[in-house]
Chains A and B, each alone.
Chain A
Amino acid sequence: MKTKEYICVLCPNSCTVTVVFGNEGIEEISGHGCERGREWAEDEVVRPRRYFVGSVTVRNGDFETVSVKTSDFIPLEKAKSIGLHTHTLCVEAPVRMYQVIERDILGLKGVDLIATREVHRKNGA
């Protein structure tokens, strides 16, 4: 029997979740502080998932950038390519809170890149 410890990233409690593996896969999960933590650990074993956060260039805004996040989890292995992709994006001000910057980011069905702040149009622009 094999056990492995994972530190849950869902909230600052940072629970240490212990997963016990048997012949048929996961046998037992313990140490999670909530039900979401259990589901997270089940995922973590086979396919780690994370939220992506970053920023996108804004034209004619009162900020140079708008902060963005994905509307759902993305596979961890896609994080870097999403980062490089958002680096190349540019939107025109104004940007509304939760405005969709790009639908189905990098072909991930149902996962949108959305703004997490408002950016107003710069005076005179």
Chain B
Amino acid sequence: MTKRHMTDRKDCVIIGGGAAGLAAAAACRENGIEDILLIERGEVLGGILNQCIHDGFGLHKFSETLTGPEYAQRYIDMITSRGIPVLLNSMVTGLSPDKVLTVINRGGLHRIQARSVILAMGSRERTRGAIGIPGSRGAGIFTAGVAQNLINMKNFMTGRRVIILGSGDIGLIMARRLTLEGAKVLMVLEKLPYPSGLPRNINQCLRDFDIPLHLRRTVSYIHGGGHLTGVDIAPIGDNGEIQPDRAEYMECDSLLLSVGLIPENELSRQAGVQLDPVTGGAVVDEYGQTSVPGIFSCGNVLQIHDLVDNVSLEGEALALGVKRYLEAGKLAEPGIKVFPGQNIRYCLPQHLSGQAPAVISFRPSVPGKLHTIIFSQNGKILRKKSLLKINPAEMERIELDSALLESGSPLQVELVPGRLQS
């Protein structure tokens, strides 16, 4: 009854054909890595870009503003023109620490022994269950990305009187999209005292259409039987507690949730990759290599991004490490720990070897005006840069010259208010 499956061998397998995987695959081939395979579970390449039909993509990469499908097409063309093999409709269900992949598709079950693996599986949305809203389980409750898929790809309208919980970018984009399709978006609710999406989206998606944004408010109860009929909207107290006794009822026929993304790291866990509890993604060095030698990570599976251009840059940057790993069989030990100081929620990579160009990405923990980002080792400042404004909704990426790094001592990243006098 057991059928022996041939084990294929590949120098580099990329798991996920979205923005990160496409960029990583193209860059690996560009850097002379010939034996590549890109595996995608969907029917087409491009991942979530296919349903992001709004514009604003590509300003950094291509110096023009593109819609999601156009941006994806640019990369798909690179993959096609470089003859990079792609497996579509194929799900990677297993990844072992010694880099054996289990792949399932219509052709059956396959095993692939990879010398190196790039994790580019992206993320999924937090759901109602993840935030635990009490009440009925009627129809009409969607995550914002699912609503986006239904409306933009399946031509299915999700509601006429809509409340959106969470002011993340996808929620804001959907507020405009639903309005332009003729729905009435009653309001967007945000539990934090500041919006989670980019200021530009607050402007062009909400203000343009007079959609109110209510800060420090959340949905405390969902009403309705077969289909939801309305929700209770409650204020958030000073200690972050929901105050259901002060809730007000609001009628609606659908509720969209835009309450965050979760990196999809099930395969990484199987492979024994160490994860960071703050980012939900892998712990990596400046090559993007995880705690398992030869396994690399990029894009939303590594850390949640707000700009696809940054996802592409992160994917492309892996090519150097993959190439060095394939040539030498290992990369230098990352002996320099990077740790977040004041006003930094997290920074990446978590450690450095000092042997390659480093790009430090970070998110501030609070919004604010003029701040200075400071990189220092043992109190010695290696680099500082002024930022006119800081916003937890906006990830920053700053290059650090690895020649400045002193091996063995930790690198501190902090954001101090104002301009630093030197």
Q: List chain A positions with a Cβ less than 8 A from chain B.
A: 6-14, 16, 48, 50-55, 57, 63-65, 67-69, 76, 79-80, 82-84, 87, 97, 116-118
Contacts and interface: CB of A to CB of B under 8 A. Distances in A.
B175 to A, nearest CB: 13
Contacts of B50: 117
Contacts of A11: 56, 59, 65, 200
A70 B54 CA distance: 11
A79 B208 contact: yes
B155 A65 contact: yes
Nearest to A76: B208
B65 to A, nearest CB: 7
Contacts of B326: none
What class of interface size applies to chain B in its complex with A?
20 to 34
B152 A14 contact: no
A8 B200 contact: yes
Given A9-B200, A97-B73, A69 B180 contact: no
Contacts of B181: 54, 83, 87
Contacts of B203: 6-7, 9, 14
A57 B151 CA distance: 11
B67 interface: yes
Nearest to A48: B208
A50 B204 contact: yes
Nearest to B203: A7
A69 B67 contact: yes
B306 interface: yes
B81 to A, nearest CB: 15
B53 A67 contact: yes
Nearest to A81: B180
Interface of B: 50, 53-56, 59, 65, 67-70, 73, 151-155, 177, 179-182, 198-200, 202-204, 208-209, 306-307, 389, 394
* A-side interface mostly: mixed
B199 A14 contact: yes
A53 B180 CA distance: 9
Nearest to A82: B180
A64 B153 CA distance: 6
The 8 A-B pairs with the shortest beta carbon distances in the complex, nearest first, are: A83-B180, A67-B53, A117-B69, A14-B199, A14-B200, A9-B204, A64-B155, A7-B203
Given A65-B153, A82-B180, A83-B180, 15 more contacts: A6-B203, A10-B65, A12-B56, A14-B199, A50-B204, A53-B55, A65-B152, A65-B155, A67-B67, A67-B68, A67-B69, A80-B179, A83-B179, A83-B182, A116-B67
A55 B152 CA distance: 6
Query: In the complex, which of the residues A8, A13, A67 has the most CB atoms of chain B within 10 Å of its own CB atom?
Result: A67
B307 A51 contact: no
B47 to A, nearest CB: 14
Contacts of A8: 200
A118 B46 CA distance: 13
A69 B181 CA distance: 14
B53 A55 contact: yes
A83 to B, nearest CB: 3
Given A53-B54, A63-B153, A7 B59 contact: no
A16 B370 CA distance: 13
Contact of B180 (A6, A16, A79): A79
13 contacts: A8-B200, A9-B203, A11-B59, A11-B65, A14-B198, A16-B199, A55-B152, A65-B152, A65-B153, A67-B152, A79-B180, A83-B180, A117-B50
B300 to A, nearest CB: 16
B152 A69 contact: no
Nearest to B151: A55
B338 to A, nearest CB: 25
A82 B182 CA distance: 11
B57 to A, nearest CB: 9
Nearest to B169: A12
B70 A116 contact: yes
A120 to B, nearest CB: 10
Nearest to A57: B155
B73 A64 contact: no
B69 A116 contact: yes
Contacts of A6: 203
B202 A7 contact: yes
A18 B389 CA distance: 15
A53 B153 contact: no
A53 B200 contact: no
A62 to B, nearest CB: 8
A63 to B, nearest CB: 7
A83 B18 CA distance: 28
A28 B67 CA distance: 33
A10 B59 CA distance: 9
B74 to A, nearest CB: 11
